[in-house]
Structure 1
Amino acid sequence: MIEKTLGNRYTILEEIGGGGMAVVYRARDTLLNRIVAIKVLRPEFSGHNDFVRRFRREAQAAASLSHPNIVSIYDVGQQNGLYYIVMEYIEGKTLKELIKLKAPMPPMEVIEIGKQICDALECAHKNKIVHRDIKSHNIIITPEGRVKVADFGIARATADTTITNTGSVFGSVHYFSPEQARSDMVDERSDIYSLGVVLYEALAGKLPFEGQTPVAIALKQIQDSPSPISNIIPGFPEELEAIIEKCMAKSPDERFQSAAELKRELNEVSQHSDIVNFKPSELEHTLVLNNTQKEQFSKTSPKIQNSVSRKARKSSIFRNIAIVLLVIALFSAFSYLGAVWARKYFEVPEVSVPNVIGKSEEEASAELAQKNLKYTADRVFDKAPDGQVIDQDPKGGETVKVNHPPISLVISKGPKTSKVPRIVGSSEQDGIAMLTNNGFAVGSISREYSDEFPEGVILDQNPRADLSLPEGTAINFTVSLGPEIKQSNTPVLIGKTLDDAKKLLEEQKLQIGTITKKSSDAVPENTVMDQSPRPGDPIGPEGTVDLVVSSGPLKIKKLNLSIPLPSKPSEFAIKVIVSDDLDENRLVYNKRHTPQDSPLIIPIEGAGVMNVEVWLDNTLLLKESY
């Protein structure tokens, strides 16, 4: 996978982690030039259509979450059977790693982490998304102390696998809520329970429930109460311990009913001096509370005190339930949960699940109710109309028992809308990146000349910026070709006098280029004989025209060239070469002479300026113009 590119933009750099379900890589987004994390589904899950469908569906739903305490999901895709999620890359350690390094952690540090997790959960729960897999492995702490909650959206897909079928759930069984262990309906309060386990682990330095098998741990989640932290860490503040116990109440109704409520309680106890000053390393090894601690515990909110008292009253009931469930678990040794065996053992009526895909939520609810079936709803953005069922699990036609867990429906919230970004003034490449990053499609691209916008810059868009439109809408735009170079035809100058030609060029705002004089017996002197560009050829504004102007008929002139000869003892050759309007490098004289022939008189003739060269053998003896 290293150096492989996914989606034509994400280049894999290195493997940074992984689990039973996926492998995580660090990668570079070549389009936006930034580092991202990519979670790639393991091949053994890629062939499971339902699993892949839920994996992508839930990841896309999670991508709608935007919160500083949630790891952002940028993209979801697949390539050649590889399914992947592109996420924000976070530098830092997981809470699990910090617990191993620092456990037991100071209460104030754990409270601050807990409050930030509450903020993340509150955002998710308001968007009807339940994490279902809160655990210390999924909590990342940046070097600046920022908490980032990861794996939103894929927890639902993980929960669809059973303990007996895959090991992907085993890492989470320590954090399961009792209703998850019983395969009952799960809601936001299940995340509160799991967060309580995380806080317990950080404060106590150990998990509340351990066992040799996942089944044993799941049974403890259903039956047992965790050992009080004060039994593990003597002197531990009871008001904070009461909050943890309320989070981990067996009944969802006895827990905090929202993440916001839990955060308020954490804020309240963080003001207590015994918690602010409490450090596990300074504990006295005693289980007896001093008077100050008892007095502070009496100030704890009535809700928490009532929770503690209720737990005490119910502890004996839970022990009786534990005995019954243990008998069931032993009797069903080959089943991962006693409740499953019980449902199979008793003759529970079966019904065929109706197909409600494509129907409104009201219609689906009515049809399921006729079959004595309940349902839970995940709401996601989709092209289907708002309120329409777009998926269900189990599928229509499948046979289930009437006490089956609620049918899972996926209900459309309608197309997700976003504000159209302003791309006018951006380069074509940047404009395309802005559109795709905001969920819009690139529509038709036209090009036209512009005096205002440089070449390659977007000068117009349709629809316009700041409109709220469904994601996936195609945005058309126009790219500048720069200023238009207006062409005209070169005027006819041949046959005009030089003065008339200059005047005509000036009128048409054209420039005079090189003027070359050439003799002609046919064309009068000072008349244009030729031009470049030729008449009628296209020429741009401020273009240049070169002219050839007649200098009139050739005028032949004659002269006698007097050449003094050197006093050499032997013969030598004398050559005369003339360049003039008649010809260039014309040999007009070539004879051998002796010093006695001096001075040598040679008659020559030519036209216009005559450039004369006299050569003695291979030596230039004279060069003159006449």
Structure 2
Amino acid sequence: MNKFWTYLKTKDFRNHFLGAIGSLLAVILIAYLSLGYYTHHGAGIPVPKLKGLAAENALAILEDQGFKYQIDSVYIQDQPPGTIIEQDPDAGTNVKEGRTIYLTMVTTQAPPVGLPDLEEKNYREALAVLANAGLKVGDTTYRSDIARDKVLEVHFGGQTIKTGQKIPKGSIVDLVLGDGAGATEVDIPDLTNQDLDAARFALRGAGLTVGVITYTGSITDSTNLVVVSQYPMRTDSTSKTSIGTRVNLTVTQAKGTPNEQPATQQQPQQQEPPVQP
């Protein structure tokens, strides 16, 4: 053991040790320089600026300079279709000839999106919901409805569309909104052959009132009457009337009423005073 420590202190050991260190450094330096020469470290050609160019122009430039390319597409509103919006590596980066350049292009066809649910939404809410879905609002028209600015219908291409119906992203839709005034006209219900109580109920539901009631024929049971005519009545040319309009009814005894008198013993026509609204 003492001889080993003595050898470590000799000049021969120091010379061998320093020689081994020098040889190792020389090998590392040679390997580094050879690698840089073999791989052309720091050499290359700059990547051209492709962002903002049309896709066909960008691809022509890459092919002329010996680059490969790979294209992905994405839809972006208000960007011209077919335009390059991203590139990797960035413009000016030195790369080897034949390197693959990755491009992102604005797609030429908008993806379909479902019309969001706008039921019970007002105009401002509809704007935000449509914007989140990638849609825009075009024209707005108003229709009689008690709720002001409530969305009543959505139109696209002149047709009414419903919630969930697919249209291209970025499309412009038109809205039909309530004017807050309420309906001024209502449909005239057809009351013929309805019993009197049902007719009264139908008129109240339609926003109309009962006018003069005229009795015809033999009346034996005033609780079992049927409407035989009305005024105003629904026709092909007249289907609506002003809200609150009085509708005059002519009624007769319903068939099958017990103790119904023969037709030869008809009572004279009677009139019931108008019902006050």
Q: TM-score range by the shorter chain?
A: 0.3 to 0.5
Alignment TM-score, normalising by the size of structure 2: 0.41
* Greater per-residue helix proportion: 1
Q: Greater relative contact order (Cα 8 A, min sep 6): structure 1 or 2?
A: 2
